[in-house]
Chain A
Amino acid sequence: MGGFNPAVKLEERIRQALNDEFLRNAVKFTTGRLRSSKQQAAEQMGNWEEWRERGRQIRLHTIAHLDYYLNQFVQNLREAGGYVHFASTAQEAVEIAMQIMEEKQAKSVVKSKSMVSEELHLNDAMAAKGIEPVETDLGEYIIQLAGETPSHILAPAIHKNRQQIADLFSEIGGEKLPADTAVLAGFARSQLREKFLQADIGMTGCNFAIAESGSFVLFSNEGNARMCSTVPRTQITLMGMERIIPSWEDLEVMAAILPRAATGQKLTVYMSAINGPKRAADGDGPDELHVIILDNGRSQQLGDPEFQEVLNCIRCGACLNACPVYRHIGGHAYGWVYSGPIGAVLTPLLNEDQDQWGEVANASSLCGACYEACPVKIPLHDMLVYLRRRNVEAGRTDATERLGMKTYKVAVSSQRFYQLALKLGQFGQKPLARNGEITAKVGPLEAWNRLRVAPALAKKSFRDSWKELDMELQHELVELKPETKARMEAILRKRGNSHEN
C-alpha cells in the first residue's frame, strides 16, 4: 500500500512529495495538459457557464430528492433483472461483494476503475480470500503491479515514469521491454486480454445511474469498462449512493460536462449504458448483474447546508488539474482515496477519525481555482473553511495558534488595542528591520524568510499620516463632475429602493 500510511502526518507527506522531483514535474505536466485541452473543449461548446449551471441544477435537484430517485432506480433495475444491494459502511459493502464472489467460486476478478473500490480497500479483502483482483485500466494496472494506490482520479499512474513502467512490465513478462509507450501498452493489452478471458467476475464503478430506467452509465477511453461488462459471466458494480440522475435527457448534460471538464474531450471513446443483465437470447454480456450501493459517510452530508453540495461531485478531476497545491504535491500527500481539493473536502467528511484526517482541509491556499474549474460549481473553497472551523470548534488546532488568534481578536476588535499593537510592532521590530525589510529567520518569520524577504512595518502607518494627507487633499480638491455625482447618487437611490422592496 505505497503512498498510504495514515500514521504519517500531512506535513510529512507533503515534504516527501515535494522532494520527489519526477513526481512534481509529471504532475505539473499532466495537469497542465488536461487543463489546456479542457479550455479548448469548453470554448467549442458555446456557453460553458450555461452548461455548468445546468449541471449544477440537475445535481442539486437529484440530491435533494435522493430518496425518491434511488428507490426508482432500484425498482427499475430489479425489473430489468438486476440485483441491488445496500451497504451503509465500507465493511458491509466488502461483505456483500465477498459473498457474491465466493458464491461464484471466483478465482479472478477483472476490475475497471472505481474510486468506490479504493474506498473499500476491496483488493486487500479479495487477496485475503485468495481471489485475484486485476486492475484493467492501464494506469491502475501499472500501480497495482507496483503495489501502490492511485494519485489522480483520471491519471492514476501520473507519478510513474516510462522506465519504471518498463521495469515493472519486464519483471512479469520475463523479458526486457523497451521504455516505449506503444510497446508497453501493447504488452499490457495482451496480458490483460488473457485476464479478461479467464476472469469469473467483472467489476466496474458507476459514473451515472439513470433513475427512470434503472440503467447505469460507464465512461471510458480504453474500453476496459466495456470489457468488464461484456466478457465475464457475472458483473458487480460498485456505486456511491449519490451517482443518480433522474432521466436520459439529463445524461446529455453529464456527458457534455464530464469528459470536457476531465480531459477536454467532447465525449469519452466509450460511453456504455448497461440495463440489467444480458437478455435471455443475447450472445454476450453478464448473466448476473449485482449493483452494490454504498453510503459510507455520504448520508451524513445530506441536510447539512454547508456540505450537501459535495454530493453533486461527478468525479471528473478538474479541480485537481486546476489546483496549484495538488500540482506541487500530487495525490498521495492527501493520504486517502480522493486527492486534490475534492479530496481535501471528502477525506474529513467521509472518515470518522477527525484527529487523523481533519488537518487535510488545510491543504489549500483557498484560491478558488477548484470552484472555477468545477463543472457543477461546488464551492469547495468555502467548504474547506467550514471544515477548518470544525477543527477549531473541536479544539483540534494547536495551542500557539489558538493563542495567536485570541490576541488577534483583541487587537482587531478595538481601535485602541489595534493602534497599540501597531506601536508595539514598530518598536519591537527595530533591531530586525533594515531598509523596510526583515530578513532574519526568527519566530513566525522562520519559514517565510527561508525563501522570501519580509516587509517591515512602515515607520508611519497610513492612519498616522492621514491627517496631514487629508488637509493636503482638501486643499487641492477639484469639483466633482456633475455626471459622476449623478451616477453616485443613482447608485445610492437604487440601494435605498432595493431595501424598501
Chain B
Amino acid sequence: MKTEKKSVIAELHEQSLQKQETFIKHIANRLGREQPLTTPPKRSVSGAVDSWRTHTLDPEERISQFLMNWESLGGSAVRLADMAEAKNYLDRLIGEMKAKKIIREDHPELAQIVSESPDLHLTVWGDKDFAAMRKAAAEAEIGIVMADFAIANTGTLVITSTPQRGRSLSLLPTIFVGIVKAKDIQTKMGDVLSVIQTWNGKEMPAGIHFVSGPSRSADIESDLTIGVHGPSIVHALVIG
C-alpha cells in the first residue's frame, strides 16, 4: 500500500515537470516571446516608494509606536526592564487568568521565567511527538514565545517557526504572550523583509508569521468580534 501511495505523488510530480514546459511556454508565447525568459528582467522600480524607504524612527520612538499600535489593535503591550520583570508579569497574568495549562517555546531565557508548579502544567515545545504537542497547544490557556522582530509602524510581532518554536504556540492557545527585545523592534515592515531576504535559499524557516493583535472577524453583520480561530487575548512584552 505504502509504495503504491508514493507513486501517485511521484507520478503527479513527473507530469508536472512535463506540463511546466508547455504551461510556461504558452505564457511566453502569449507575451510575444518564442521561448520563456531565462535571464532576470530589468526593473525600473521595486519595493516601497522612495519616501518610505528612508523613513526611520529612533529606537525610543520605535518602542513607543509599537506599544501604541499593538494596544490600538486590541492587545496589551508593556515595556519591561528585564526578564525578571517579565517573570512577575507572567506570574500575575497566570494568576489573574487562573491558567492551569501553559505551553512555551524551548528557549533558555524562557526557562528562567516560566516554571511548572503543582497548580500549573507546563509543556515545553519539542518535548513530545506531533500529535501530543498539538494537543498540548490546543488545550493550553497561554502560549509563550520569543519573537524575532517587532514592527513599530503596524504594531506587529514577527515569529519564525523553528524546531523549538512551533507555529501552534502563537495560534492555538486562547492567550498569546509574545516577548520581544527592544533592539529587535524595527520601524517598518521593509526593515524586516530585507533581513528575511538574506535567508533566501539557505536558512529560510518554513513559516514566518506576522501577528498584529488578536484574531478578529466582522463576518456576522459586520459586527467586530475577537478570537475567532486564533488567540483572543494577546500580550506583547518589550524587554529593555
Contacts and interface: CB of A to CB of B under 8 A. Distances in A.
A4 interface: no
A284 B134 contact: yes
Interface residues of B, number: 89
A47 B51 contact: yes
Nearest to B23: A86
B188 to A, nearest CB: 7
B228 A188 contact: yes
Interface in A187-220: 188-189, 192-193, 196-197, 212-213, 215
Contact of A223 (B23, B39, B133, B171): B171
Centre residue among B36, B49, B166 by max chain A CB count within 10 A: B49
Interface in B158-178: 161-163, 166-168, 171
Contacts of B168: 230-231, 283-284
Most buried by A among B48, B69, B138, B199: B48
Given A188-B228, A285-B161, A221 B216 contact: yes
Contacts of A158: 222
Given A184-B220, A248-B196, A272-B208, A71 B47 contact: no
Contacts of B216: 221-222, 269
Interface string A56-96: 01100100111110110010100110011110100000001
Contacts, number: 299
Nearest to A222: B228
A249 to B, nearest CB: 3
A252 B217 contact: no
Contacts of B201: 76, 79, 213
Contacts of A70: 24, 27
A282 B212 contact: no
Contacts of A241: 27
Contacts of A300: 30
Contact of A302 (B19, B27, B161): B27
Given A138-B217, A221-B215, A267-B212, A67 B31 contact: yes
A99 B14 CA distance: 14
A53 to B, nearest CB: 8
Contact of B30 (A184, A288, A303): A303
A387 interface: no
A76 B201 CA distance: 8
Contacts of B39: 68
Interface stretch (B4-12, B79-87, B94-102): B4-12
A80 B47 contact: no
Contacts of A303: 30-32
A5 interface: no
Contact of B212 (A33, A215, A269): A269
7 contacts: A54-B48, A68-B39, A86-B16, A103-B5, A224-B228, A267-B210, A272-B210
Given A71-B36, A100-B12, A295-B26, 11 more contacts: A50-B51, A66-B31, A67-B36, A80-B204, A96-B12, A213-B199, A233-B130, A266-B153, A273-B210, A278-B161, A282-B206
